[in-house]
Amino acid sequence: MDGRTSFWQRNRWLKWVGGGLLLALLVVAGAVYFLLRQAEPILRARVVQALQAHFHARVELDAFHVSFVDGVRAEGKGLRIWPPAQVEGVSVPSPAGPVDPLIRVDEFRFHAPLRYEPGKPVHIQVVELKGLHIHLPPRSHFEKNPPSANGAGASKPWGTPGMMRFQVDTLECADAELVLGTSNPAKLPMEVAIAHLKLTHIGADKAMGFDAQLTNPRPVGAIHSTGSFGPWHVEDPGESPVNGDYRFDHADLGDFKGIAGILNSTGHYQGTLRNLTTDGETDTPDFRLTQFGNPMPLHTRFHAKVDGTNGDTWLEPVEATLGHSHFFAQGQIVRVVVRENGAPPRSVGHDIALDINIDKARLEDFLRLASRSATQLLTGPVAVKAALHIPPGKVPVHRRMTLNGRFVLDQARFASTKIQDRIEELSLRGQGRPKEVKTLDSTGTRSRMTGDFQMANGVIKLSTLDYTVPGADIQLRGTYGLEGGALDFRGTAKMQATVSQMVGGWKGLLLKPADRFFKKNGAGTEIPIHIKGTRENPKFGFGLDN
């Protein structure tokens, strides 16, 4: 009896313990379920608070979901961060903010281990973003009050003491866009499309590493850039520093009307998001004007300042080599914006204004670029100082561009033997050596050509052209057409010799009485001269031939 009683007592006790354990498990499960249900809004609040503390700005998050399978997996949608407001020079979260958020993220997700140690940040290895849009307001938005006296505007840590903090190692983003606002109403904001962005070494008050693939609109191509960004300047994010290198390969210049060629470029840049200084090089082995089609190798090295808010660029300077010719250019490339009939402003292209200094060059390099023929009108070493202007437009570049300057051409030779022989003949006769005309040898003839020129609508106009050869000084003015090679030059030829000395022989004796009629302005003979026709078929003559 006692044994049976003891067995049933033990059995009831086991049932009671089992029931208690089951009840406890149910209570614990309920508590865990409750905590998990509460973890999502708590974690969401911590994320929002951390971003508010970091950016000193109002933060909104439309959706946030958490899963506790294999750690903490979180994803969110509709994240918006506004620029900070300015109160007595101190950045504070904006109560309403401007129309456009400072940062907008369509979707994000991250994974973290399921553990939390008080006083230590939650470690997140990678945060993935999709649809990142950064819209920096113009500087005027941040100039309502002076900077605070205590801080340079650096960001605070992602969290404060007593608050859950986060440490992110890497941020990866697809389909990002950076828009830099401008205070100039005549300009459009600068928009930068970023196909892929990776940020590393993320933390407060320090620079982050970045690896970015940018999409260049014109010429179309991908720019790969690496460097460092930050620390984030809270009081004016546009003043956040950036430093990096870039590579731009296989850019088709055919996107610009009138020119063609495949460009490759590398360089380094530094500064802030709003103001950058860049140094780089470009190589275009087949640069050409599409109207003419003669390819020429073009290499440049440049130092430039870039207004990040609108893309305007100041070249200070560009050092270039075209074929065998070396020159410098300095000036600006400015985006032109128009407003028509109340429509939204739009860009119509760029206005280019450069001062050009050609110091070591061959004239034939430039004439070849601007002609269809492989044979050029003139050859020889040339030095030029000119002002170049190319306004935006739809017509070919060679018709839009204007060029005004002065040139010096040493050892000038006409490619046409017909013209060159007549020049050599003129030189010999001008020296009073007519007998040597029959054994003409022009290899040792020295010449020099100087002049002022203007180029517009595809035509080169020479207002003054002085062409000096031994025994003669030729002064011309006229035009040369780049497309058809049309020649139309008129002027005078001043010879040292008299008419009778130029003709020589018995005919010269007969012309002696006429010498006094052709002696003018200190010259032995002064006669009219003209060059007409085309580059391939020139017609060269003197007043005595008319």
- pLDDT, one tens digit per residue, over 72-94 is 788 999 999 988 764 444 444 45
* Contact indicator for 215, 229 with CB cutoff of 8 Å: no
Six token digits for residue 264: 């490759």
Contacts of 28 (CB under 8 A, 6+ apart): none
Q: For 4-19, b where at least 16 C-beta lie within 10 A, e where not — what string?
A: eeeeeeeeeeeeeeee
Whole-number Å distance between alpha carbons of 125 and 74: 13
Q: Which pTM value belongs to this model? A: 0.76
Per-residue pLDDT of the chain (546 residues; tens, 9 = 90+): 555 556 545 555 445 444 445 544 444 444 444 445 556 777 788 778 878 877 778 899 999 888 877 777 889 999 999 887 644 444 444 544 446 888 999 999 988 876 766 777 777 889 999 999 999 888 877 765 444 433 444 444 444 444 556 678 899 998 899 988 888 877 888 888 999 999 998 876 788 999 999 988 778 888 999 999 988 888 888 899 999 999 999 888 887 777 889 999 999 999 998 899 999 999 999 998 887 778 999 999 999 999 888 888 999 989 999 999 999 999 999 988 888 777 778 888 889 999 999 998 998 888 888 777 766 777 889 999 999 999 988 888 878 889 999 999 888 887 777 777 878 888 888 888 888 887 766 555 678 889 999 999 889 999 999 989 889 898 999 998 887 889 999 999 898 989 888 888 888 788 888 888 888 888 888 888 888 888 778 887 776 444
* Contact indicator for 454, 463 with CB cutoff of 8 Å: yes
Whole-number Å distance between alpha carbons of 91 and 147: 9
Number of H helices, E strands in the chain: 8, 28
| DSSP reduced 3-state for 245 | strand
- pLDDT of res. 212: 94
Helix or strand (DSSP H, E) at 486: strand 486-495
Whole-number Å distance between alpha carbons of 459 and 425: 29
Contacts of 68 (CB under 8 A, 6+ apart): 36, 39, 114
- pLDDT of res. 443: 57
Segment 36-59, tens digit of pLDDT: 555 677 778 877 887 887 777 889
Task: Indicate the pairing of strand 122-136 with strand 166-180.
Answer: parallel
Estimate the share of the chain in helix, then strand, then coil, as percent rounded to the nearest 5.
20, 50, 30
The torsion of the CA quartet 302, 241, 183, 235, rounded to 10 degrees, works out to -170
Whole-number Å distance between alpha carbons of 276 and 152: 20
* Cα 86 versus chain centre, distance: 34
Whole-number Å distance between alpha carbons of 142 and 489: 61
Contacts of 200 (CB under 8 A, 6+ apart): 169, 170, 171, 208, 209, 210, 211
Whole-number Å distance between alpha carbons of 8 and 15: 10
Other C-beta atoms closer than 10 Å to the C-beta of 415 total 18
Whole-number Å distance between alpha carbons of 464 and 256: 34
* Contact indicator for 131, 175 with CB cutoff of 8 Å: yes
- pLDDT of res. 30: 43
Contacts of 121 (CB under 8 A, 6+ apart): 158, 159, 165, 166, 167
Whole-number Å distance between alpha carbons of 104 and 60: 10
